[in-house]
Structure 1
């Protein structure tokens, strides 16, 4: 909630942080501020973010709209040079911004450090595609000869979630700017500070108005969705919010790219390799960022002949986890970002226990964590739950994983393919051909083989989905390609590094160019690859 004078108790040992709005190249102070709290100790305030009004939000859109004509006519190569120079302004601040991210988000320090690097890597990858921007596609006659030019759309609104906000921004903002668009970014309300600091530095190297940042409540920043000058909206978040955004965008027929929730299944076949390496991949696939990742494994279907073996292996691995403050080097899993999210997951677990499922809590709480009021949950397995329970049918977005035995893979396919979610899935088998054949039958945008989650994403591939998970293939190289390809591919775990190392290059970016003469082709469902590289 907003307050006029910051009065809540600040963290000890950390300088107070206060961020303003960024409009037309200037930092704008506001009368009211939003307190940002530490999920590991919610009584402590990390800092305060400016609380925008609708008038301020419209001012940000106006600034982006005014800057658009001049930015759009700058040659693409020069825009790339400007962005590359602006990126150097982030050098030297990574540790400070990562520490701030951990304090406001709750994630472990290692993940925050990786996130700072992912934004830089993705921006550089976008810049590397600059030569494709100015190409003109010629369609020879008879009867006519046509030329297809890719033109920028105008003002782009980018809205990101709390879990990996800066990394996710790197999958859209650089492509929008490189293509000649201007932008207004809305950081997540509970995790705005590190993002604002990052964008203040980056925007200092860009012409005024090209990049604007607005923090505040959803109601206050509604003009970022409804202002007729906004021609593109890129949103990552919940399905409910995505529906609201699509309805708002329809008022002005603004283009929309949505990446929404997922209830991602992992299917463990009877010949799956369940050694330490593969169990480690599955644990990371489900519990990265305490399970708060859209493409995390949300439920596991395992052949009954391997059920006990898998449960024992996962239990042993999860029992080594230490849950505590993200800035504690001994912590392997931080708190959930909000009390509401913790309570939602806890309610799902309570329902499962009440229905007779075994709810197995694992790992240990760090000393003091139990009394800190932090939003902690230990990693938990829910064994053989009824398929109608919320822990199976909904996206938990937390460190709780249902394990369901099966006898017939066709029955699993029926459950998975008739679900509301079609974001990601994974198949675990020693037979790559068998796994690939099953992957083709799954109605999900990305299917990994013997791997899962962001650590297994290939940033060169589209991040597509079916069902209600994504509208438009996100992060595909559409923004900078005159003739974007949509070739489905399958990934295997061969030659796969298992780390959170940013890729050397990336082709992902939402559609931020409007085609002149003819539209681009419809995006079909694409299968992703299990090559390494973060893909939040």
Structure 2
């Protein structure tokens, strides 16, 4: 965080609160608006347009026209535009971070990191535009056969509330690099940074290539089912993923889904208890209140180091202090909404009732300055059994469930018993054990002696109910293309000039 003071919030909020499509700001056709409230303070952030199905259809029509132009822009020229977008993100990182802190509740310092990630993704996919390659297939002397990759068309992006700006700017990079047009549905709870991003890049892309439609379920249903949307991408909950799949089935369109997680951190007896405790706290993503699909919310700690890890874990959790999200010193933000806040407290109550041992946290912080906000302390329960709700259900909040184990086979069976399979973190100094465990766990992304980090170029995604497809890699770019095969029959061989002379 820079040492100079942050600008006033009112100076950085978006001036436009409407829809953005066809290269212009548009009023919602039915005139709907929705109120926004800051989860950290309970204060009003004003209103924003609430689109309906007719608005979504208008944006899709605009995107079709934009796609017709954008697909023919040379790949390297598209890359130049993406890099300019990345620089715009870097130049406005502080303002965008402050908007997200006020709107979604994550600490402003962490949101600066989100801006770095978004700009890196734009640069990364700009660098891959020449890798959308086909192949030639040998057919003998009388034919030429080759494949080529083409953009799909209009891509719908349905985004969640936990990283609003990062997902808006970063997740459009791959489809735009591939030559598609995008229609983005920002999160209902926190759309302001997406609106500001649209203001910042206005005029950079051909009209209709980037479109933004704030709204609720009706917008998502149209984007998923519309026959002129070629592909839909969702980051969200499993129920929302199922709804999108049902809608998309009407037009048999491909999907990229990053859904829920109930991820495990496994510690073997040779792991250092202090390092494991630090990893448990970091992997839980307490900074943004555990509101992350990839959070390692289940800890499986060998009995030999169990109590030592718990003792260090209290200290590790103390580094995450709930505070006002817009303050630079805050290390843990607010829950995004009152509804989600109440849901998390219900899970905490069920853990107490079912006999889990509270290690730390468990309630609203005592600081009077936080009384009006949706804050929950970093919460850790020990002695958790498989039958407890906090062991089975995704909470999407700052609640960590810890269990002790002695039988490796029984532990791994329990790790894989849930229907999710996004991430897993394994802690051991035994290389053979680490490799074998990584092969056994049912997860799409595994860390060994590491946690929480993503790496551009490394495919990120889940198995089972945690989703479909892979992101942050070449495979993501290729997913936004479709392969076409072209066969050319050659005419009879002609004699060379002067042959036989």
Q: Could you tell me the TM-score, scaled by structure 2's length?
A: 0.89
Q: Matched residues in 1 for 2:316 and 2:387: separation? A: 27
Q: Residue 524 of structure 1 corresponds to which residue in structure 2?
A: none
Q: Which runs of 5+ in 1 are unaligned?
A: 1-11, 482-510, 519-536
Closer/same/farther in 2, CA of residues 370 and 113 from structure 1, 3 Å limit: closer
Partner of 1:489: none
Any unmatched runs of 5+ in structure 2?
1-7, 487-501
Cα 1:480–1:358 change in 2 (3 A) is closer
What is the rounded CA distance, in whole Å, between the counterparts of 1:193 and 1:323 in structure 2? Answer: 23
Query: What does 1:261-300 align with in structure 2 at a 5 Å threshold?
Result: 261-275=260-274, 277-286=275-284, 287-300=286-299
- Relative to structure 2, which stretch is displaced further, 102-111 or 467-476? 467-476
- SS at structure 2 position matched to 1:48: strand
Q: Which residue of 1 aligns with 2:497?
A: none
State how far apart, in whole Å, the 2-side matches of 1:165 and 1:386 are.
Answer: 34
Q: Which residue does the alignment assign to 1:22?
A: 20
Please tell me whether the aligned partners of residues 337 and 374 of structure 2 are also in contact (alpha carbons under 8 angstroms): yes
Q: Per-residue CA shift, 1:252-284, capped at 9, x if unaligned?
A: 111111110000011111111223x55333311
Give the drift of 1:427.
0.6
Q: What root-mean-square deviation, in Å, do the aligned CA atoms of Structure 1 and Structure 2 show?
A: 2.1
Distance 1:477 1:390, change over 3 A: same
Distance in 2 between the 1:256 and 1:432 partners? 36
Q: Cα gap change, 1:168/1:433 in structure 2, threshold over 3 Å: closer, same or farther?
A: farther
CA deviation string 1:321-344 (max 9, x = no partner): 321211223321111111122212
Sort the Cα spacing of 1:220 and 1:13 in 2 relative to 1 into closer, same or farther, 3 A: closer
Deviation at 1:479, TM superposition (A): 4.8
Instruction: Quote the offset at 1:188 in angstroms.
Output: 0.3
**Partner Cα distance (1:83, 1:320) in 2:** 37
Whole-Å Cα distance in 1 between the matches of residues 282 and 270 of structure 2? 21
Asked if the contact 2:85–2:122 (Cα under 8 Å) also holds between the matched residues in 1, the reply is: no
* Secondary structure of residue in 2 paired with 1:517: strand
1:346 aligns with 2:342: no
Contact 1:150 1:514 in 2 (8 A): yes
| CA distance 1:469–1:304, change in 2 (3 Å) | same
Q: Residue deviations 1:26-46, cap 9 Å, x none?
A: 01123222111111122x112
Distance in 2 of aligned mates of 1:285 and 1:319: 15
Superposed CA offset, 1:492-526 (max 9, x none): xxxxxxxxxxxxxxxxxxx10011139xxxxxxxx
Q: Where does 1:6-405 land on structure 2 (aligned, <5 Å)?
A: 14=10, 17=14, 18-30=16-28, 31-42=31-42, 44-90=43-89, 92-133=91-132, 135-142=133-140, 145-275=144-274, 277-286=275-284, 287-362=286-361, 365=365, 367-372=367-372, 374-405=373-404
Seen in structure 2, the aligned counterparts of structure 1 residues 213 and 129 have a Cα distance that, compared at 3 Å, is same
Per-residue deviation, residues 222-253 of structure 1 (Å, max 9, x unmatched):
32122110000000000000000011011111
Select which of 457, 460, 463 maps to 2:460: 463
2-side partners of 1:440 and 1:257: how far apart?
Answer: 24
Aligned to 1:512: 480
1:357–1:383 Cα contact (<8 Å) kept: yes
Residue 409 of structure 2 corresponds to 410
Determine the C-alpha separation between the residues in 1 that align with 2:449 and 2:378.
Answer: 21
1-side partners of 2:456 and 2:17: how far apart?
31
Measured after TM superposition, the shift of residue 55 of structure 1 is 1.3
How many angstroms apart in 2 are the aligned matches of 1:99 and 1:271? 42
SS of residue in 2 equivalent to 1:323: coil
Q: Does structure 1 retain, via aligned residues, the 8 Å contact 2:267–2:302? A: yes
SS of structure 2 residue aligned to 1:305: coil
Instruction: Report the count of equivalent residues.
Output: 472
How far the C-alpha of 1:375 sits from its partner, in A, is: 0.9
TM-score (norm: length of structure 1): 0.84
Deviation at 1:96, TM superposition (A): 1.5
Larger radius of gyration: 2
Within 1, Cα distance between the matches of 2:300 and 2:223? 41
TM-aligned CA deviation for residue 478 of structure 1: 2.4
Deviation readout 1:140-170 (Å, 9 max, x if unpaired): 2359753110011000000111111332345
Q: Deviations along 1:198-232, whole A, 9 cap, x unmatched?
A: 13322420011011000011124532122110000
Which of residues 466, 473, 478 is equivalent to 1:476? 473
